[in-house]
Structure 1
Amino acid sequence: MVILVFFLCHWFLSLFFQTFFLHRYASHKMFKMEPFWEKTFYLMTFLSQGSSFLNPRAYAIMHRMHHAYSDTEKDPHSPHFIKDVWGLMIKTKNIYLEYVKFKVEPEPAFRDRYPTWSLIDRIGDLWITRSVFIAIYIAFYIYFAEYWWMFLLLPIHFLMGPIHGAIVNWCGHKYGYSNHDNDDHSKNSLPLDFLMMGELFQNNHHKSPNNVNFANRWFEFDPSYPIIKLMHLLRIIRLRKV
């Protein structure tokens, strides 16, 4: 029971900070926050993603490219030019590393207006840092796991961030229904969306990329939106007017 609770906490915390901080804030600037809160959520993103921490700058550049070139050959992670999910993850990783290591300069339209914290970026990208997180996950499982099959969950902990991204980019552009004609293959993937904190309302999001609520119709629900709305009411963030 302890292991399953730990797994679910890691899954949803990592996923929330990916959709809240990396996607809706770093990539789209759907809301504003003071420097204190930006640093706080930056650190929480690092801690929740752990061994699979994703650099906010590189994430934002790639995501902006994804919107600009959705489901074309210039899209950094469209499933329609790759044969399987593994190939999608490898291609995404290679492009991601080019931006993390500053080997490639992004087009002017995709630069700036993303949060940076050089200290956390450097620490988070070190293999020793990733290895320490992996060791913590393994130690936790050795101490609390009751059955051998629970250890099969460990690789998901190791690659949590990229796995979330692969699910969204693969399923969100291949399976489901469309509310809007966006001139791409974006889909809304109910009921899997609930497990992805709103990220699988890809068709809705590509129609209105600056709308913080990814749900459009009466039967759709974006689990991240009420949390973000509450943060706005508490003045932790300030939502943009769309």
Structure 2
Amino acid sequence: MAVVIFFFSIWYLSLFCQTFFHHRYASHAAFKMSKGAEKFFYVLSFITQGSSYLSPRAYAIMHRMHHAFTDTEKDPHSPSYSKNVVDMMWKTYIIYAGISNRTTEVEAKFTKNVPDWPAFDKFAGSMWPRIFWSLCYFTFFWFFVTSPWQWLLLPPLLLMAPVHGAIINWYAHKYGYESHDMPNTSKNLIPVDFLMLGESYHNNHHKFPSSINFGRKWHELDPIYPIIRLLGAVHVIKLPKKGAAPEFSEW
């Protein structure tokens, strides 16, 4: 039981950082925060994503490219141009690595005001921290596994952030329902998003990319939305003024 609790704790904690910091903040500038707060969430992302840490800068650039080129050959992760989910995620990894290592030339419009902490990204995304987190996970499993099937949770734990990406970028472009008529294959994967903290309302997100609330219908509850409102109320982040045009509405 301890292993299952541990797995889902990491699932939701790492997913929170991905949707709050990497996605809504870094990619879409849906709200603002100080440089100190930005660094705090960098470190929190490293702790919660562990062995699968993603650079917020590289994530943001790649996600902006996804919105600009959805369902075309330039899309970093499109089911329309991949044989299966593994093929898609391998292509995504190649593109991510090029952006993260700064060996791929990126259009300036995709890099505007993205959070950037090169020294930390170089450390957190390197081999030895990934090995350290992997050993920590393995050690926890070694001591607390109570049934052989629980070992099956270790591989997705080690690849947690890419697993989250695969669920949305593959399945939410193939299955679900459409609330908005869009020139792409984005769909809302599940009516009540208990699994992905609002990320599965992908059709809504493509329609309103810079919205701080991914839910639209009465049943589409976005658990991150009230957290964003709370953090705005206590001035950890700065929410946009009502009616203000979002900074990256095109993404």
Are positions 1:158 and 2:166 aligned together? Answer: no
Shift, 1:119, TM fit: 2.5
Which runs of no fewer than 5 residues in structure 1 stay unpaired? none
**Counterpart for residue 10 of structure 1:** 10
Which runs of no fewer than 5 residues in structure 2 stay unpaired? 245-251
- SS of the residue aligned with 2:187? coil
- SS of the residue aligned with 1:195? coil
Equivalent runs, 1:112-123 vs 2, <5 Å: 112-123=112-123
Answer yes or no: is the 8 Å Cα contact 1:171–1:200 preserved in 2: no
Are positions 1:27 and 2:36 aligned together? Answer: no
Q: How many residues align?
A: 242
Equivalent runs, 1:226-237 vs 2, <5 Å: 226-237=226-237
State the distance in 2 between where 1:36 and 1:193 align: 31
AA of the residue aligned to 1:155:
P
Shift, 1:210, TM fit: 0.8
Shift, 1:72, TM fit: 1.3
**Counterpart for residue 214 of structure 1:** 214
**Counterpart for residue 240 of structure 1:** 240
**Counterpart for residue 70 of structure 1:** 70
Equivalent runs, 1:31-70 vs 2, <5 Å: 31-70=31-70
Shift, 1:48, TM fit: 0.4
Answer yes or no: is the 8 Å Cα contact 1:55–1:100 preserved in 2: yes
Answer yes or no: is the 8 Å Cα contact 1:214–1:222 preserved in 2: yes
- SS of the residue aligned with 1:189? coil
**Counterpart for residue 141 of structure 1:** 141
Shift, 1:216, TM fit: 0.8
State the distance in 2 between where 1:116 and 1:145 align: 39
Equivalent runs, 1:55-204 vs 2, <5 Å: 55-191=55-191, 193-204=193-204
State the distance in 1 between where 2:122 and 2:69 align: 29
Shift, 1:194, TM fit: 2.1
State the distance in 1 between where 2:103 and 2:192 align: 36
Shift, 1:127, TM fit: 0.8
Answer yes or no: is the 8 Å Cα contact 1:46–1:120 preserved in 2: no
* Matched-pair identity in %: 50
- SS of the residue aligned with 1:170? helix
TM-score (norm 1): 0.97
Shift, 1:191, TM fit: 4.2
State the distance in 2 between where 1:174 and 1:192 align: 18
In structure 2, the CA distance between the partners of 1:164 and 1:215, relative to structure 1 (3 Å rule), is: same
State the distance in 2 between where 1:235 and 1:79 align: 39
- SS of the residue aligned with 2:179? coil
State the distance in 2 between where 1:125 and 1:192 align: 33
Q: Which moved more, 1:221-230 or 1:87-96?
A: 221-230
Shift, 1:70, TM fit: 0.9
Runs of 4+ with >4 A deviation = none
Higher helix share: 1
Answer yes or no: is the 8 Å Cα contact 2:193–2:200 preserved in 1: yes
